[in-house]
Amino acid sequence: MQTSDLRKAGLKATLPRLKILEVLQQNKQDHLSAEDVYRKLLDNEEDIGLATIYRVLSQFEDAGLVIRHHFEDGHALFELEQGPHDHLICVKCGKIEEFFDNEMQQRQRDLANKSGFDLSKHTLVLYGDCQTANCENDTKKDSS
Amino acid sequence: MQTSDLRKAGLKATLPRLKILEVLQQNKQDHLSAEDVYRKLLDNEEDIGLATIYRVLSQFEDAGLVIRHHFEDGHALFELEQGPHDHLICVKCGKIEEFFDNEMQQRQRDLANKSGFDLSKHTLVLYGDCQTANCENDTKKDSS
DNA sequence: CAACTGATGCGAATGATTCACAATCAGGTC
DNA sequence: GACCTGATTGTGAATCATTCGCATCAGTTG
């Protein structure tokens, strides 16, 4: 029951919000665009307006429930907040992996401090060739 | 004379391209949007179409002369390629500083390798409060 | 300096995202 | 459990950055 999560965030527990949250939870490991969320809801017989999805995702972001990314192409991808982690993206197949490295986090804090900044967040994305057998094949267009 | 830079990149040395390159060089330390470049050219009596600026900036990017960033807001900012470096952005005044840390670069390579990736590039942005006296005041809108 | 090919400028087209506003719903109240 | 009030939604139009299409023009080559 995620009604409580919404309440905690100061948001009314409306049906669209619950359904959107549900989609995000069912795709914890992915990075979804607003459009993706929209389509997954349609597949689920839930006809929620795109504008609502954008609105709700922004509210979730403000509430800290969701993280918004702008990888290469500039258009927004969302994922549930699941603690600090960074991304590794294959430039050939588009696969996105996540990783966490404490030492790196620490060094980032140190570098920020050295420049007089009080670090509040960061974005680190590593791009490379994943070198797996089924890379190219899997030229991730979509997963409809 | 940067005509040679363009030739090397396989691009004809046309007036628009030379002028755009000039603007970038005069603003080495900044991060300009296509619109910014457009306006700076207008200020200089150079009336070059916005579409051309977008086209040329993309060509420069392909040629490795320019780097395209998508910081928070998702819209594109460009800067001259000046060797590897990362960014520190003040969340209050918007100031962008650059830094370089060899050890961090190394650790990134190691982490990518650990996941089987052959690292080709990366993006690291640290967000924080710059804590300088004239921070807020200087609420960087533009510098027209 | 003529010819060939790529480059430009313009305005229209696109795609993601946001807005405006009337209709509807959630949550507290009696 | 019906009511009230302000928050939320759906719709379609609006906006913003960016790209396209195409006729015209300019660099380069010989």
pLDDT tens figures, B36-62 = 999 999 999 999 999 999 999 999 999
- Set out the domains of chain B in order of their start, with CATH numbers: 3-80 (1.10.10.10), 86-138 (3.30.1490.190)
- Contact between chains at B118 and A129 (C-beta distance less than 8 A): yes
- CA-angle at B63, arms to B58 and B64, nearest 5°: 95
Task: Give which of A86, A87, A106, A117 is closest to B96, Cα–Cα.
Answer: A117
Query: What does residue B28 show for φ and ψ, rounded to 5 degrees?
Result: -45, -45
CB B60 within 8 A of CB B66: yes
Q: Pick from A74, A120, A125: which is nearest to B129 by CB?
A: A120
- Contact between chains at A72 and B70 (C-beta distance less than 8 A): yes
Please give the order of strands across the beta sheet that includes A96-99: A96-99, A86-90, A118-129, B118-129, B86-90, B96-99
What is the reported pLDDT for A92?
Answer: 86
Give yes or no for residue A141 having a pLDDT over 80: no
Quick one: pLDDT band at residue A2, thresholds 50, 70, 90?
confident
Task: Give which of A14, A90, A91, A25 is closest to A56, Cα–Cα.
Answer: A14
What does the DSSP assignment read for B8-42?
HTT----HHHHHHHHHHHHTTTS-B-HHHHHHHHH
If one compares A1 and B121, the residue with the highest pLDDT of the two is B121
The model's pLDDT over B22-40, given as tens digits with 9 standing for 90+, comes to 999 999 999 999 999 999 9
The model's pLDDT over A110-138, given as tens digits with 9 standing for 90+, comes to 999 999 999 999 999 999 999 998 886 55
What is the reported pLDDT for A137?
Answer: 53
The model's pLDDT over A15-68, given as tens digits with 9 standing for 90+, comes to 999 999 999 999 999 999 999 999 999 999 999 999 999 999 999 999 999 999
For residue B80, count other CB atoms closer than 10 A to its CB.
16
In chain A the first and final C-alpha atoms are separated, in Å, by: 28
Q: Pick from A91, A108, A117: which is nearest to B120 by CB?
A: A91
Say yes or no: Cβ of A11 under 7 A from any atom of strand D.
Answer: yes
| Strand blocks (E) in B53-103 | 66-69, 77-80, 86-90, 96-99
Q: Identify all chain B residues contacting A54, using CB atoms and an 8 Å cutoff.
A: none
Give yes or no for residue B140 having a pLDDT over 90: no
Give yes or no for residue A108 having a pLDDT over 70: yes
What is the reported pLDDT for B135?
Answer: 81
Mean pLDDT of A89-113: 93
- Contact between chains at A116 and B131 (C-beta distance less than 8 A): yes
